[in-house]
Structure 1
Amino acid sequence: MRTVKRVHPAFRDDIGDLVTRRPVPGPAIGHVGAFLFLNHHGPQSYPPNNRGLPFGPHPHRGFETVTFILEGELAHTDSAGHSSIIRAGGIQWMTAGSGIVHAEVSPADFKRDGGPMEILQLWVNLPARLKMAAPRYVGAQAEAIPSVTADGATVHLISGEHAGAKGVIESLTGVFLSWVEIEAGGSVTFAGLEGRDVFLYCARGMFHVEDAAVAHFHLAELTPGDSVTITATEPTLFLFGHAAPIDEPIVAHGPFVMNSEAEIRQAFQDYQAGKFGVAEIVEA
């Protein structure tokens, strides 16, 4: 069984009026295997006639972004021709691959009416053989995401398999990703973790792994092992994922994650030359 090796707090790093916390990278942890970066935006409530989210068109190359919309709405547009508005409980999975420009903003009705907003965005690394893969995007509303409920826990399956159910996304690298809601007194066990990098972040409430408590806005770094059991004594929501190790150099600069400085320079050159295309902002 895996246990908690260390708990890492998410540090505040607000973006304008957007409340933002980041557990990784942090002072004591650079990444969790393939899981490179997590921004936890909110929870907060926007008033009517707000400016919405500030993420206008920007580029990426060399990795994937997975965005969990816990509350509110998120409008996505990218230079590969994809667009969608995903509501609470839905997800967005974007493979930047060889290069993409995307915008993630609040739709017009949210800016007009306001409301609660809480969004998590996770960056997932790609191995060298896939860093220049064709960009792709999948947006899924809550009703399209399979879930498994047992022992007071509901596992919302984004990718991979659990208890006979399969996630809505087919990961290029076999990544398992889920978000989990546990009632007070509930528990869930995940197995098949031997040799995998495990990502476990508490977004709401508090969970326990054996005797170790992990409160909201904290990342749990786990010891090696084949399984982990997570329990809760209060309503709790957390992200859980695991991935095969990528034993390659990680060179990150701004919106690009590659294997060398030369590849980072090339990414900037390609973007500045217009090779990533253009994304228009969704207003409807």
Structure 2
Amino acid sequence: MSNIQLIIEERSADIGNFMVGRLLPFREKRTVGPFAFIDHMGPTYLKDYQNLDVGPHPHIGLSTLTYLFEGSIMHKDSLGTEIEIQAGAVNWMTAGKGIVHSERTPQYLRTSDKMLHGLQIWVALPRELEEMEPNFTHIEKDDLPHWEQDGVSIKLIAGEAFGKKSPVPVYSPMYFLEIKSKSAQKVKIGDHLFGESALYILEGSIKSDGNTFEPKQILIAKDSKLCEFEMTENTTFYIFGGEAFPEERFIYWNFVSSTKERIEKAKMDWQNQTFPKVPGETEFVPLPPENNAFKIKK
């Protein structure tokens, strides 16, 4: 694709009792706009005795965006939130100065066969908001802007694009779009985007300049003006990006910050168990050893 700068392949990662495909960060591209981390969960078939159980763990300096294609997750956090997210809805949790949450298979599904498939995304906060008070927002799928345009279905999951605005309360200029088509279609996004931009293929394929791009790839654009391409039939892809921050972001385990010192403080606070607690949760997930913690450093 003439406007593609980099192609990132999905890589396997273990998040405890569940395997995911890691997309961002990548050694050659750590962030796209404010997007600092993307995991592709599934599609995974879980038998009646298999369940998602991500125990209470901390975050700082970011917002998490959970978007499911299939399945259901029960979210609990230290604000007292307890809510089930289902396919098509958005859980948007802003950690700010610190939050703790757990993600588990809902109780009513724990003895049933089920599917789980979706995206887990971290969006870094602007430096001046990294220590803001934490908050949580749940948006139902029917409340997200969605429309038909040039033969394709478009949904604005977060941010602003195409003159529309998602109700998800973002903190910097960004966008996260879902684009689907049952038939082969030519698509030209043109000037509807801004900042850094990338495209993730979930299913189907995209053709451009004699090349075919398949699922489990992120295509990083040279600029926000994505060139014209063709979607094959039954294709779904996601476009995400926005304005990049002037400062680098550091990641260690579940912590994101513009300074290494703040991450060191978060590590100490978690070890000392001074983060707020999740009501009803007693499990403690220890800080991983240095050689096991996911980290991005210079």
Would you say same fold, with TM above 0.5? yes
Q: Which amino acid aligns with 2:6?
A: R
Gaps of 5+ in 1: none
Could you say if the C-alpha distance between residues 19 and 254 of structure 1 is closer, same or farther in structure 2, counting changes exceeding 3 Å?
closer
Question: Matched residues in 1 for 2:192 and 2:165: separation?
Answer: 17
Could you say if the C-alpha distance between residues 155 and 195 of structure 1 is closer, same or farther in structure 2, counting changes exceeding 3 Å?
closer
Could you say if the C-alpha distance between residues 218 and 196 of structure 1 is closer, same or farther in structure 2, counting changes exceeding 3 Å?
same
The alignment status of 1:154 with 2:158, answered yes or no, reads: no
Question: Matched residues in 2 for 1:12 and 1:212: separation?
Answer: 25
Does the CA-based 8 Å contact 1:2-1:222 persist in structure 2? no
Q: How does 1:1-284 map to 2 (within 5 A)?
A: 3-15=3-15, 18-50=18-50, 52-192=51-191, 196-209=195-208, 211-280=210-279
Could you say if the C-alpha distance between residues 177 and 225 of structure 1 is closer, same or farther in structure 2, counting changes exceeding 3 Å?
closer
Q: Which amino acid aligns with 1:226?
A: K
Specify the SS of the correspondent of 1:201: strand
Specify the SS of the correspondent of 2:63: strand
Q: More deviation in 81-90 or 17-26?
A: 17-26
Q: More deviation in 59-68 or 270-279?
A: 270-279
Specify the SS of the correspondent of 1:271: helix
> How many positions carry a matched residue from both structures?
281
Pairwise CA RMSD of aligned residues?
Answer: 2.4
Kindly state the Cα deviation for residue 132 of structure 1 after the two structures are TM-superposed.
0.6
Q: Which amino acid aligns with 1:36?
A: A
Does the CA-based 8 Å contact 2:196-2:221 persist in structure 1? no
Kindly state the Cα deviation for residue 251 of structure 1 after the two structures are TM-superposed.
1.8
**What fraction of aligned residue pairs are identical, expressed as a percent?**
27
Specify the SS of the correspondent of 2:142: helix
Could you say if the C-alpha distance between residues 2 and 270 of structure 1 is closer, same or farther in structure 2, counting changes exceeding 3 Å?
farther
Does the CA-based 8 Å contact 2:34-2:244 persist in structure 1? yes
Kindly state the Cα deviation for residue 131 of structure 1 after the two structures are TM-superposed.
0.6
Could you say if the C-alpha distance between residues 172 and 16 of structure 1 is closer, same or farther in structure 2, counting changes exceeding 3 Å?
closer
Q: More deviation in 232-241 or 208-217?
A: 208-217
Question: Matched residues in 2 for 1:182 and 1:169: separation?
Answer: 24
Could you say if the C-alpha distance between residues 124 and 79 of structure 1 is closer, same or farther in structure 2, counting changes exceeding 3 Å?
same
Specify the SS of the correspondent of 2:58: strand
Q: Which amino acid aligns with 1:244?
A: E
Tell me the residue number matched to 2:284: none
Q: Which amino acid aligns with 1:79?
A: S
Does the CA-based 8 Å contact 1:183-1:234 persist in structure 2? yes
Could you say if the C-alpha distance between residues 45 and 214 of structure 1 is closer, same or farther in structure 2, counting changes exceeding 3 Å?
same
Question: Matched residues in 2 for 1:95 and 1:187: separation?
Answer: 37
Gaps of 5+ in 2: 282-298
Q: Which amino acid aligns with 1:8?
A: I
Q: Which amino acid aligns with 1:182?
A: S
Kindly state the Cα deviation for residue 279 of structure 1 after the two structures are TM-superposed.
1.3
Specify the SS of the correspondent of 1:246: coil
TM-score, normalising length: structure 1:
0.89
Could you say if the C-alpha distance between residues 82 and 259 of structure 1 is closer, same or farther in structure 2, counting changes exceeding 3 Å?
same
Kindly state the Cα deviation for residue 188 of structure 1 after the two structures are TM-superposed.
4.1
Specify the SS of the correspondent of 2:18: coil
Tell me the residue number matched to 2:288: none
Does the CA-based 8 Å contact 1:35-1:199 persist in structure 2? no
Question: Matched residues in 2 for 1:266 and 1:131: separation?
Answer: 14
Could you say if the C-alpha distance between residues 24 and 209 of structure 1 is closer, same or farther in structure 2, counting changes exceeding 3 Å?
farther
TM-score, normalising length: structure 2:
0.85
Kindly state the Cα deviation for residue 113 of structure 1 after the two structures are TM-superposed.
1.5
Question: Matched residues in 2 for 1:25 and 1:188: separation?
Answer: 27
Kindly state the Cα deviation for residue 178 of structure 1 after the two structures are TM-superposed.
2.1
Question: Matched residues in 2 for 1:251 and 1:162: separation?
Answer: 28
Question: Matched residues in 2 for 1:154 and 1:237: separation?
Answer: 9
Residues 181-219 of structure 1 deviation map (CA, whole Å, 9 limit, x = unaligned)? 222313444344676011321122212355543211001
Does the CA-based 8 Å contact 1:199-1:220 persist in structure 2? yes
